[in-house]
Amino acid sequence: MHIIEAGNVAAAIGVKLSRAQVIAAYPITPQTPLTEKLSEFVESGELEAQYIPVESEHSAMAVCIAASTAGARAFTATSANGLLYMVEQLHWAVGARLPVVMCVANRGIGAPWTVWNDQQDTISQRDVGWIQLYCNDHQQIIDSVIKAFKLAQTVSVPVMVCYDGYLLSHTYMPFEQPEQSKVDAFLPAFTPKHFLDPENPGNFNTVTLPDIRLDVDGIMAPGYIEIRHNLQEDLRAALDTYVTIDKEFEKEFGRGGNPFVEEYKCEDAEFVAVCIGSLSYQLRDVVDIMRDDQVKIGVMGVQMYRPFPDQAITQALAGKKCVIVFEKALSYGNQGALYADIKSALYSSEKKPRIHNYILGLGGREIKTQHLLDALAESCTTPDTFGDSPRWIGLKLQE
């Protein structure tokens, strides 16, 4: 069924179709309409779930952790400072290997206070261990939520589904709503490998010692470092698993095939603009304008940021003349995080492209197509790098 709705509603419908069993959330702009919609679904009985209103985001994640430990499909959503308020619990959820799914409507972080879009909130959480998926439109939001539940429960790692605040969360777009029966077939009920079971009492995530040791049954129990190594190995393997899940989804619903990056006119391109999120669709317009002037340029949107699909990215970018990375976030005191990650992925490739970094749109600063055009034109005609510091687009500094 085709409907026209807001991005937050697309996410809520995705959660409903995925039959989340426990939802705990605290409202924060621009995520609020998503949680409101979910509470409506629960209230009306359309979604059979426990909706637990909490007094903070830290508690929201704590509830999801508890529910997930008991074996329930748990969901929450947040933005910006709300995400930061749950950080301690984010680490816990992934260390405990719980398949929680969370939507983040991307927003800038205070101080100074802002409610508008950039991506500093989730990018600053890239090292936590959560899987991070990013969406470019409403269809990708609803599809990614459903795939996220499947991925999370397959690899036992929580997944963040991120989409730009306002630009996607509050705008209306047409999208296809998958049929419930098909979603049920794709995402059947599951029993986690480890869960709280009164028939089989267990301690979870109690203190681990620096070294391995015998447990009460005389079985050698792993230490902290072994458990963390296992998480890293699972995350790397999750890349392959996500390809499989994406293929399965494509077979069932006819959409997919770009689990890691979404390319536009990249095949014969000498120059490739790279970014995360809805900006990649805006950049398509710029690419079209430049193509009219015979510039061989394309754009690549990164759809999965953690685990980092370094091989797919190297494959897509090695041999290009110049890669231009646009970011709505920054690793302060250094460079854009995506830029640094792409550079490191390309380090071992024979044909290293030049690579440029632009920071833009922080705190909702409007991104003008002309600005993108100017930046790309400059990057395409500069035969060298600009040095390693990012350039800023659209800054209005008083001389």
Partner 1 sequence: MVKRKYCDMISRSKPGPGDGGNTGSWRVMRPVINLEACIPVKTKKNSCFNCWLYCPDCVVSKTIPPVINYEYCKGCGICAEECPTGAISMVAEATPVTEEK
Contacting residues toward partner 1, per CB under 8 A: 96-97, 154-156, 193-194, 201-209, 213, 215-217, 221-222, 226-227, 230, 234, 237, 240-241, 243-244
What token pair was written down for 293?
Answer: 């002037």
Q: How far is the CB of 347 from partner 1 (least distance, A)?
A: 25
Angstrom distance (rounded) from CA 65 to CA 99: 9
Residue 331: CB minimum distance to partner 1, A: 30
Burial (Cβ within 10 Å: 0-12, 13-18, ≥19) of residue 383: exposed
Q: Which among 177, 118, 168 has a CA at the least distance from the CA of 146?
A: 177
Using the minimum distance from each CB to partner 1, give the nearer residue, 48 or 226: 226
**Count of CB atoms situated within 10 Å of the CB of 170:** 17
Q: How far apart are CA 77 and CA 32, in angstroms?
A: 9
Q: Report in angstroms how near the CB of residue 225 gets to partner 1 at its nearest.
A: 11
Q: How far is the CB of 248 from partner 1 (least distance, A)?
A: 12
272/75 Cα distance (integer angstroms)? 36
CB-neighbour burial class of residue 321 (10 A; exposed 0-12, middle 13-18, buried 19+): middle
User: Which residues is 299 bridged to in the sheet?
Assistant: 264, 273
**Are 234 and 226 spatial neighbours (Cβ–Cβ below 8 Å)?**
no
CB closer to partner 1 out of 172 and 204: 204
Residue 229 or 368 with smaller CB distance to partner 1: 229
Task: Pick between residue 216 and residue 397 the one whose CB is nearest to partner 1.
Answer: 216
Whole-angstrom distance, CA of residue 234 vs CA of residue 259: 17
* Closer residue to partner 1 in complex, CB, 93/279: 93
| 49 phi and psi angles, rounded to 5 deg | -150, 160
Could you tell me if 174 and 188 are in contact, meaning their C-beta atoms sit under 8 angstroms apart? no
Nearest residue (CB) to partner 1, 2 versus 193:
193
Residue 129 near residue 157 (C-beta atoms within 8 A):
yes
Q: Which residues contact 337 (CB under 8 A, 6 or more apart)?
A: 123, 126, 327, 329, 330, 331
Q: Cβ closer to partner 1: 219 or 397?
A: 219
Closest separation in Å from C-beta 367 to partner 1:
38
Closest distance to partner 1 from the beta carbon of 228 (Å): 9
| Other CB atoms within 10 A of residue 177 CB | 17
Nearer to partner 1, 66 or 221 (CB): 221
DSSP classification of residue 142 = H
